[in-house]
A and B are shown apart, each in its own frame.
Chain A
Amino acid sequence: MEPTNNTKRIEQYLANELSAEQKNAFKNTLSQDAALQKELAQQIAIHEAAQRANARVQIKKVAKSYHFYKNIVTLSLIVAIMGVAGIVGYFLLKDNLESSPKQNLENSNKENQIHPTLLTQLASNAPINNLQSDFFTWNGSDSVIISKNGVLLSIPKDALLLDGKPYNEPAIIQWQEALDAPTIMKSGLSTTSNGKLLETQGMFGLEAYTKDGKKLSVNPNVGIYVQVPVDQYKKGMQLFKGEKDKTGMINWVNPTPLQKIPVPVDMKDLNFYPKGYEETLNKLKLPQGRKYRDSLYASLEEGNFEEIDKINKIEIAQIKVNGVEIKINPSAKLNLDILDFKVDVIKTEENTLEKESTSIFRLNSEIIFYKDLFSLNKNQNQDPCTITFNDSSEKTKYLYKPNILNVSTLRGTKTTDGTSTIEHDFSIKSRLKKIPIQFNFYFEVLTYKNEILKYEIVCKTTIFQNIYKSKSIPPSKVLAFWNKKFNNTNLATREFEARMKEIHPTCKAEVLALYVNNLNKNISDIDHQVVNMGYTTFEEFAKEQVGALNPNNPHLNSLIKFYDQTAKEISEKTSQLIAKQLKREKVFDSELAQSRMKETDRAILRKVQASNEEYELNLNNVYKQLGKEKSSIRQITNKTIGVTIINSGVYNIDKYVMDATVSRTSTVITDPETGKTAKITYNDFSFQVKDANKYPKLFAYLFPSKLNSYQHISGTNGSFTYPLNDDIVYHLAIVGINEDGFFYYEQKNIKEGKLGEIVLEKLTEKEMDQRIDALNESRGIIKPMKIKDELGWLVKEQKYYVETKRRMEQARFVRRMKRVVFPCYKEKEEGSAEEEISDNPMKN
Chain B
Amino acid sequence: MNPLKENEKELQQLYKKLPEVKRFLHTFGCRSLDSEDIFQEALLIYTRKKQEATFTLSVEPIHYVKNICKLLWYNQARKTGKQNSVELSDELLVIESSTWFQKEMALQVVEQTLAKLGKQCQEILQLVYGLGWNMVEVAKKVGLRNDKVAKAQKYRCIQKAKELTSETTLEF
Partners in one complex: yes
Q: Chain A residues near B3: list those with CB within 8 A.
A: 550, 552-555
B70 at the interface (CB under 8 A from A): no
A58 at the interface (CB under 8 A from B): yes
Report the separation of the CA atoms of residues A62 and B4 in the bound assembly, to the nearest whole angstrom: 12
Q: Chain B residues near A554: list those with CB within 8 A.
A: 3, 51
Report the separation of the CA atoms of residues A55 and B129 in the bound assembly, to the nearest whole angstrom: 11
B125 nearest in chain A by CB position:
A50
What 1/0 mask marks residues of chain A from 1 to 30 whose CB sits below 8 Å from any chain B CB?
Answer: 111100110010000000000000000000
CB of B15 within 8 A of CB of A66, answer: yes
B159 at the interface (CB under 8 A from A): yes
CB of A8 within 8 A of CB of B155, answer: yes
CB of A46 within 8 A of CB of B162, answer: yes
Within 8 A of B (CB), among A41-57: 41-43, 45-57
B89 at the interface (CB under 8 A from A): no
What 1/0 mask marks residues of chain B from 8 to 48 whose CB sits below 8 Å from any chain A CB?
Answer: 10011001101000000000000000001000100110011
CB of B15 within 8 A of CB of A3, answer: no
Report the separation of the CA atoms of residues A196 and B47 in the bound assembly, to the nearest whole angstrom: 55
Report the separation of the CA atoms of residues A47 and B111 in the bound assembly, to the nearest whole angstrom: 10
CB of A1 within 8 A of CB of B114, answer: no
CB of B158 within 8 A of CB of A555, answer: no
Among A449-457, A557-565, A648-656, which stretch is in contact with chain B? A557-565
CB of A11 within 8 A of CB of B18, answer: no
What 1/0 mask marks residues of chain A from 556 to 586 whose CB sits below 8 Å from any chain B CB?
Answer: 0011011000000000000000000000000
What 1/0 mask marks residues of chain B from 121 to 159 whose CB sits below 8 Å from any chain A CB?
Answer: 010011111110000000000000000000000111011
Q: Chain A residues near B4: list those with CB within 8 A.
A: 58
Q: How far is the CB of B126 from chain A (nearest CB, A)?
A: 4
CB of A49 within 8 A of CB of B114, answer: yes
B88 at the interface (CB under 8 A from A): no
A600 at the interface (CB under 8 A from B): no
Given A66-B18, A485-B53, A56 and B158 contact (CB-CB distance below 8 Å) = no
CB of A11 within 8 A of CB of B154, answer: yes
CB of B44 within 8 A of CB of A55, answer: yes
CB of B130 within 8 A of CB of A55, answer: yes
A380 at the interface (CB under 8 A from B): no
A540 at the interface (CB under 8 A from B): no
CB of B161 within 8 A of CB of A46, answer: yes
Q: Chain A residues near B53: list those with CB within 8 A.
A: 485, 555, 558-559, 561-562
A40 nearest in chain B by CB position:
B170
Tally of chain B residues near chain A (CB < 8 A): 52
A747 at the interface (CB under 8 A from B): no
Report the separation of the CA atoms of residues A200 and B33 in the bound assembly, to the nearest whole angstrom: 64
CB of B111 within 8 A of CB of A56, answer: yes
Q: How far is the CB of B151 from chain A (nearest CB, A)?
A: 9
CB of A50 within 8 A of CB of B128, answer: yes
**Contact with B114, one of A53, A57, A485 (Cβ below 8 angstroms):** A53
Q: Chain B residues near A2: list those with CB within 8 A.
A: 156, 159
CB of A53 within 8 A of CB of B165, answer: no
CB of A58 within 8 A of CB of B111, answer: no
CB of A7 within 8 A of CB of B170, answer: no
CB of B11 within 8 A of CB of A58, answer: yes
Given A41-B170, A53-B130, A59-B11, A7 and B125 contact (CB-CB distance below 8 Å) = no
Given A1-B159, A46-B161, A555-B3, A53 and B154 contact (CB-CB distance below 8 Å) = no
Q: How far is the CB of B120 from chain A (nearest CB, A)?
A: 13
CB of B47 within 8 A of CB of A55, answer: yes
B107 at the interface (CB under 8 A from A): yes
Max count, chain B CB within 10 A of own CB: residue among A4, A49, A562: A49
Q: Chain B residues near A508: list those with CB within 8 A.
A: none
Report the separation of the CA atoms of residues A39 and B158 in the bound assembly, to the nearest whole angstrom: 11
Within 8 A of A (CB), among B52-102: 52-54, 56
A63 at the interface (CB under 8 A from B): yes
A38 at the interface (CB under 8 A from B): yes
Q: Chain A residues near B159: list those with CB within 8 A.
A: 1-4, 7
A485 nearest in chain B by CB position:
B53
Q: How far is the CB of B137 from chain A (nearest CB, A)?
A: 14
**Contact with A3, one of B2, B11, B158, B165 (Cβ below 8 angstroms):** B158
Report the separation of the CA atoms of residues A54 and B8 in the bound assembly, to the nearest whole angstrom: 13
Report the separation of the CA atoms of residues A269 and B93 in the bound assembly, to the nearest whole angstrom: 35
A256 at the interface (CB under 8 A from B): no
CB of B126 within 8 A of CB of A46, answer: no
Q: Chain A residues near B43: list those with CB within 8 A.
A: 59
A60 at the interface (CB under 8 A from B): yes
Report the separation of the CA atoms of residues A50 and B16 in the bound assembly, to the nearest whole angstrom: 26
A749 at the interface (CB under 8 A from B): no
Max count, chain B CB within 10 A of own CB: residue among A43, A61, A62, A66: A62
A65 at the interface (CB under 8 A from B): yes
**Contact with A52, one of B7, B15, B111, B128 (Cβ below 8 angstroms):** B111
Q: Chain B residues near A8: list those with CB within 8 A.
A: 155
Report the separation of the CA atoms of residues A59 and B44 in the bound assembly, to the nearest whole angstrom: 7
Given A46-B125, A59-B43, A51 and B162 contact (CB-CB distance below 8 Å) = no
Q: How far is the CB of A563 from chain B (nearest CB, A)?
A: 9
Q: Chain A residues near B111: list those with CB within 8 A.
A: 49-50, 52-53, 56
Q: How far is the CB of A65 from chain B (nearest CB, A)?
A: 7
CB of B129 within 8 A of CB of A47, answer: yes
Given A3-B159, A63-B36, A54 and B170 contact (CB-CB distance below 8 Å) = no
Q: How far is the CB of A778 from chain B (nearest CB, A)?
A: 65
Q: Chain B residues near A52: list those with CB within 8 A.
A: 44, 48, 107-108, 111
CB of B170 within 8 A of CB of A45, answer: yes
Report the separation of the CA atoms of residues A48 and B56 in the bound assembly, to the nearest whole angstrom: 21
**Contact with A1, one of B11, B56, B107, B160 (Cβ below 8 angstroms):** B160
B122 nearest in chain A by CB position:
A53
CB of A54 within 8 A of CB of B131, answer: yes
Report the separation of the CA atoms of residues A331 and B122 in the bound assembly, to the nearest whole angstrom: 67
Report the separation of the CA atoms of residues A49 and B170 in the bound assembly, to the nearest whole angstrom: 12
Report the separation of the CA atoms of residues A804 and B162 in the bound assembly, to the nearest whole angstrom: 70
Q: Chain A residues near B40: list those with CB within 8 A.
A: 56, 59-60, 63
**Contact with B125, one of A53, A56, A59 (Cβ below 8 angstroms):** A53
Q: Chain A residues near B161: list those with CB within 8 A.
A: 46
CB of A46 within 8 A of CB of B48, answer: no
Report the separation of the CA atoms of residues A794 and B166 in the bound assembly, to the nearest whole angstrom: 78
Assuming A1-B159, A3-B155, what are 15 further A-B pairs, CB within 8 angstroms? Answer: A1-B160, A2-B159, A43-B158, A48-B110, A50-B130, A51-B130, A52-B48, A53-B126, A54-B126, A55-B48, A56-B111, A60-B40, A66-B16, A484-B56, A552-B3
A–B complex contacts, Cβ < 8 Å, 11 sampled: A2-B156, A7-B158, A38-B170, A39-B162, A45-B107, A45-B110, A52-B107, A55-B48, A62-B12, A485-B56, A558-B51
The 6 closest A-B pairs by CB, nearest first: A54-B130, A3-B155, A49-B110, A50-B125, A558-B53, A50-B129
A residues contacting B by CB (< 8 A) are 1-4, 7-8, 11, 38-39, 41-43, 45-63, 65-66, 484-485, 550, 552-555, 558-559, 561-562
B residues contacting A by CB (< 8 A) are 1-4, 7-8, 11-12, 15-16, 18, 36, 40, 43-44, 47-48, 51-54, 56, 106-108, 110-111, 113-115, 122, 125-131, 154-156, 158-163, 165-166, 168, 170-171
